[in-house]
A = this chain, B = another copy of it.
């Protein structure tokens, strides 16, 4: 099984590295990180990762994985990226979108009439691409797996391994990475976090929200044409 991860500038690196840790442990899964060029790629918070293939050189894949982050907004209207996701997403056996990565799946026309999850601060934008927003942490609709924000990609990848390969393999990986989570605080979703914490997140995100709204509107127009 060939697995292609999208690797673009200003991605949220844990959207990629969480699912990578899970999928790379499945026997027989061969992973590439696909970028515009072979130059190093910097995450939104400064982690620098190396691609292993380019949009032009990447092999067709069985599993396409699309992480999110602020960089998603920059490539929603960048034809080589959107066309790559449309082409490889249509051919892949399974498509995985993490966090705002599902917006890119939407811009590529893969989510029309499909249920999809997204980061809680961006989920309402999915409707612009004809998707049915689903507030679940893990959403499976046919061969398309999507997840809520960032860390939910770990849960979703384990689910995907169970369905794509088998449940025991997923459980073995879960135990290898000791994923029996015990966050130090209740919270972590807008429904479980205190109201003043939700407010802090919304305030910190207001500029990003405007950029994203404009990018989504433009990408949705392009998709309709």
Q: Which residues of A contact B (CB under 8 A)?
A: 12-14, 17-18, 20-21, 24-25, 31, 33, 40, 45-50, 52, 99, 119-120, 137-138, 148-152, 154-155, 158-159, 162, 167-168, 170-172, 174-185, 187-190, 192-194, 196-198, 200-201, 204
Contacts and interface: CB of A to CB of B under 8 A. Distances in A.
A189 B180 contact: yes
Nearest to A136: B182
Nearest to A196: B168
Question: In this complex, which of A13, A40, A175, A187 has the most chain B Cβ atoms within 10 angstroms of its Cβ?
Answer: A175
Given A50-B50, A150-B21, A200 B178 contact: no
Number of this chain's copies in the assembly equals 2
Given A13-B21, A45-B24, A46-B24, A162 B178 contact: no
A31 to B, nearest CB: 7
B50 A148 contact: no
Contacts of A152: 178, 181-182
20 contacts: A12-B21, A24-B47, A49-B49, A49-B50, A119-B178, A120-B178, A137-B180, A138-B184, A149-B177, A150-B179, A151-B181, A152-B181, A154-B181, A155-B182, A168-B200, A171-B194, A174-B185, A174-B193, A179-B188, A180-B187
